[in-house]
Amino acid sequence: MISARSIFIGLLLLAFPLLAADPGWKPLAEDGLHDPASPAIGVLQEPAEALSLLPPDTAGNRVSWVRALRERYIAPRTNIFPETNIEILDMDIIMDQTGELPLVLFPHKPHTEWLDCANCHDRIFVEKVDANPINMFAILSGEYCGQCHGAVSFPLTECNRCHSVVRRTFTGKPGVQPKPEPD
Ligand code: HEC
Ligand code: HEC
Ligand code: HEC
């Protein structure tokens, strides 16, 4: 039987070329957010001027923020209070409830380079593999990964960035992935 959910996901796939069309960086006066009559328009830096200097990406606001941080194009302050403890966690999790699609690889490292654990645990995700009934319909409705992806981080039309592990060639087990031996 074809469920409403698969029709929804199917329609999203059809809309993909439209959604993925490159919008470019709109001038502030034309972005629909700033008041074109405001005197600040002439003072504020234009997105194209600032963002074109950062490592490029093909989706979202066309900046690879992961690279921008790692390659030190930007150096945002990590904490406001000196007592805040910064923890970067290198732990990949593979999720296999993906139907016909490649498996999902969730990498903790690039997330914890930007975010504190408390952004996700346990408000969005219980801190235990398979303890969350994550599915694509909920994500597209703005839950789980969809609380950020499609809002502040790369858009949900980039299926293969999350569904990045080919099922046929994956020989490991889903869940927390063993770290590769250091060479
Ligand atoms: C931000 C990450 C992310 C993106 C982008 C993403 N997915 Fe998913 N998807 C997931 C996660 C997480 C699951 C649940 C996996 C699990 O629980 O094992 C999932 C599950 C699924 C499933 C399994 C059935 C279901 O309804 O849950 C399908 C089908 C699916 N995604 C299709 C897509 C398609 C098509 C796209 C692109 C239009 C897409 N996904 C983009 C993260 C993502
Ligand atoms: C962007 C969201 C996000 C952030 C930030 C995050 N996690 Fe997670 N974490 C997840 C997801 C998603 C899972 C897998 C949940 C599932 O499989 O249902 C997970 C699972 C875990 C698990 C379970 C592993 C197991 O063996 O069951 C631990 C432990 C964990 N995270 C620790 C942390 C710590 C410590 C931090 C901060 C340094 C952190 N996480 C930051 C999303 C996040
Ligand atoms: C609390 C916000 C938040 C949640 C929830 C979240 N992400 Fe992310 N994610 C980010 C941010 C921020 C980045 C880095 C900036 C960017 O790429 O847009 C990122 C980057 C990524 C990347 C790219 C890593 C790289 O090396 O380029 C993947 C893959 C990803 N997320 C998958 C997921 C999946 C799968 C889920 C759900 C299981 C999820 N994310 C949930 C905020 C989030």
How many angstroms separate the CA atoms of 6 and 57, rounded?
A: 29
Which domains does the chain possess?
Answer: 85-178 (3.90.10.10)
Contact 48, 30 (CB under 8 A): no
Average pLDDT in the chain: 89
Span 108-164, pLDDT tens digits: 999 999 999 999 999 999 999 999 999 999 999 999 999 999 989 999 999 999 999
Residues in the chain: 183
Quick one: average pLDDT of 65-80?
94
pTM over 0.75: yes
111 lines ligand 2 (CB under 6 A): yes
Whether residue 82 contacts residue 92, with contact meaning beta carbons closer than 8 Å, is answered with no
pLDDT band of 24, cuts 50, 70, 90? confident
Pocket test for ligand 2, best of 93, 132, 134, 148 (most atoms within 8 A of CB): 93
For residue 92, what are the β-bridge partners? Answer: 107
Average pLDDT on 42-47 reads 92
What distance in Å separates the CA atoms of residue 77 and residue 140, rounded to the nearest whole number? 31
Q: What is the per-residue pLDDT for 20?
A: 46
| pLDDT reported for residue 10 | 59
Burial grade of 104 (CB within 10 A; 0-12, 13-18, 19 or more): buried
Pairwise CA distance, residues 2 & 9, whole Å: 11
pLDDT confidence of residue 179 = 85
- Which residue from 128, 127, 125 is spatially nearest to 139, judged by alpha carbons? 125
For the CA atoms of the chain, what is the radius of gyration? 19
Greater pLDDT, 5 or 92: 92
Please count the other Cβ atoms lying within 10 Å of the Cβ belonging to residue 41.
Answer: 14
Peptide bond just before 122 cis, omega within 30 deg: yes
Q: Does ligand 3 come within 6 angstroms of the Cβ of 94?
A: no
Q: What is the mean pLDDT of residues 83-94?
A: 94
**In angstroms, rounded to a whole number, what is the distance separating the alpha carbons of residues 87 and 104?**
23
Show the tokens assigned to 144: 């789980």
The pick from 86, 92, 95, 121 for probing ligand 2's pocket by mutation, whose C-beta has the most ligand atoms within 8 angstroms, reads 121
Position 99 scores a pLDDT of 94
Could you give the 3-state DSSP secondary structure of residue 107?
A: strand
Q: Which of 26, 74, 68 is nearest to 46 (CA)?
A: 26
Which ligand 2 atom is the nearest neighbour of the CA of 95? 17
Q: How confident is the model at residue 8 (pLDDT cuts 50, 70, 90)?
A: low
